[in-house]
Amino acid sequence: MKKLLLLAALFGCQSKTDTLAQAESNVFVASLDDSIVQTAYPHKLTPTDYERLEQAYPKTLDRIEAIQPLSIQDIKNMTRAGLDDQTIIHEIQLTRSKFYLTPEDELELRQAGVSSKVVLNMKHTVDDRY
């Protein structure tokens, strides 16, 4: 109960009922067995995206579903599977992936068909530049 009230306080909810309604809408969820409130946002993968990734790149899909950091290869796989830029960027942000891209990495990504918008977003995942 304390955690639910803490969650309500963190998100500005008026009551437990409001908190439960928000949790059911998939905006966020709270872990009832942990002492830390965890937030989660829904994936933006369409059923077609899921199907393509499951068939061609199951390891990438596993990382996405487990909300694990993505690799450069995962980004190339998502592009090859036909995911749109917004979906790829959303999954990069959701998984809190960090990319320290070298010029060679950028060239490799562009040759794999990854858009400049996605590459730019990948570059901005780290604050400290080398």
CA–CA distances in Å: residue 37 to residues 20, 66, 96, 97: 14, 17, 17, 20
Residues 66 and 18 in one domain: no
Is residue 129 in some structural domain?
Answer: no
Residues 87 and 73 in one domain: yes
Residues 59 and 96 in one domain: yes
Q: What is the pLDDT of residue 40?
A: 53
8: CB partners within 8 A, 6+ apart: 14, 15, 16, 18, 19
For 37, the token pair is 């409130």
The per-residue pLDDT string of the chain (130 residues; one tens digit each, 9 = 90 and over) reads: 334 434 444 444 444 434 333 333 344 444 454 444 444 557 889 999 999 999 999 999 999 999 999 999 999 999 999 999 999 999 999 999 999 999 999 999 999 999 999 999 999 998 655 5
DSSP class of 84: -
Residues 66 and 114 in one domain: yes
Q: Domains in the chain: how many in total?
A: 2
What domain range includes position 112? 47-123
Residues 22 and 54 in one domain: no
Structure pTM?
A: 0.68
Q: Identify the helix (H) or strand (E) that includes residue 7.
A: helix 2-11
Q: Which of 9, 26, 42 is the last residue of a domain?
A: 42
Q: What is the pLDDT of residue 41?
A: 57
